[in-house]
Each structure stands twice: as C-alpha cells, then as structure tokens.
Structure 1
C-alpha cells in the first residue's frame, strides 16, 4: 500500500500497529494533529507547524509539490505561532497568531494553502497556493477553530460565528 509517507516514519510502509513518529518531532510537545486522506499536519505547543505526506497540490505548504515521508516544518510560518491546523483532501488551513503592528494586539488569523479548485482556500479565486496565504477577506475576524472536509473549509470565529468556503455540492456550506 502506497501512502505517500503520510504516517511520517520516513517510508511509505503502512503500519497496522501504532508506531511513534520520531525524526524532527522527537522531543517536541505536540498540541494537535490533523489528518487528511493523503497528508498530516502537526502543531507543537510552541506553535510550530509540521506537515508530511502527499504534496502534489502544495497541501504541505513547503513551496513546492513534493511529497515527504518525514515531518517538515512549514518554514514560511516560522516565527509565528500556529494555534491549530486542519487538513482537507488536498488543502490545509491553519489558525495563526498575528500581532497588529498599529496597536500590538494579537489575533488569530486564517491561513490556507494547497488546492483551491473549489474555492476552499477562501481567496475569491480557484488558484493553488504552495505556501500559506493569509485570508484577506476575513481580516477583521479572529478564529478559534477550523475544520476541513474533502473540498471545503469551516472556521469558527472567536465571536461565535461560522464561516464556510468551498464546494457546496451537497449543502455542506450551510448556505441556502
């Protein structure tokens, strides 16, 4: 079974018994993990984001379409604190703490990357993005939760509002 290295063990071998992920994650305290069908995202308690698996649509956020079978930090977010990440089929979403340069206030913003063919990245286009891109249309909001379906995204703002984007083929966006 070819799994694109999404288990993070440095190979493409399937494992029927749980096995600890080592390598770059060794010694780090992990706060959350998200799995898509072909890739995995891991957030550390220090706010680092690591991804591994199939990179064909840029879902890993490493600036290319390469797959990796070991955890690799998303370097474009280095120095920022990732709070949470979610994996769709071919896209990834992260909630990242951002400091406002005008008033030094911190808020949690949405960054998306990977396949945008159904609008699931929220950038008002259908372009693929190979590195995390700030969702400008939601700039006035702060987020606390995010989840991805196959080709759609749902995000919960800190004020309790749900925002959805992407395919609505089965009504999954909740919009009439």
Structure 2
C-alpha cells in the first residue's frame, strides 16, 4: 500500500530531484569534453593506430590498453605482458601429480586485465578466428564456460596486441588457405 506525500514533502523531493538531474547533466557534459580531449591527444600516438586497426577495438579500449601498457619494450615478451595483466595460471603439482583445475592468479594490473578481457569480448564478435577459439573453449568444460572461454580468448588477444605493438604494424586479417 502506498501513501500520498504531503505537499511540503513533495515539494522538497522535487527540488532535490531537479538538483540531481542538473548535476548528472553537468557530469555527462564534462565526460563528453574529457572524451574529446583524450581522443585529440591519443590519435597522434602510433600505438593507437595499431590497436584501432583491430576490428572490435574502439578508441576507449585502445586508449585504456595504451595507458596501462605504457612502453611495450619494458616487457620481454607476450608472456610477461600477460603476467602483468594477471592472465596467468597457478601451477598446482606435487611429485608426478599435476592438477587440471588451476585458477587464474589475478596478481597483476586489474585495469589492464579488464581492458584486455572486454576488448577480447568485442573482438570475438568481429573476427571469425577469435569467435571459433572462444566457442571451442566454451565447449571444453561443463561449468564457468563463458568466464573461462573469455579469459582464454583475452590471453590469445594479448599475443596479438603484443605482436602489433612490438612490430608497429596495423592488423591485417589472415588470408584464407583456399582463395577463390
């Protein structure tokens, strides 16, 4: 059951709501201005061109990845880059026993991991190679299918990002084996 508010309470609620709406609109305007400023700065960075050449990687993911990676040369190879993101798995073994169920370490830059996983999620919708990889990993296990498949796709995406940034080249789709 609901009750009507008194005139005084209704008026004060309306005032508070109007103030909050104005604040939200001002914040949205500031966010748009910041996005434009970031885009103007980042467009001239060569790494930005490399990353945005990948279908599914937009300006936000590219800017986030560049900000979190910094200089790619500070990582020896793609395994160190993946470890920095926390996309590596703990080794559980004792004697001859090796566990099949190994959790992600998650010891790394969580923002970088976020950008990699989200960009991989987007890329899998644009590139058939990544979509097939995701689907094959999804079907491998009975539980945590999406999470596991997405993290493994992000790990594969890390190799692509590392290669493109090290070689300073744009993404080119793989050629099909049979050309018609």
TM-score, length-scaled by structure 1? 0.27
Structure of greater relative contact order (alpha carbons < 8 Å, 6+ residues apart): 2
More strand by share: 1
Question: Which structure has the greater CA radius of gyration?
Answer: 2
More helix by share: 2
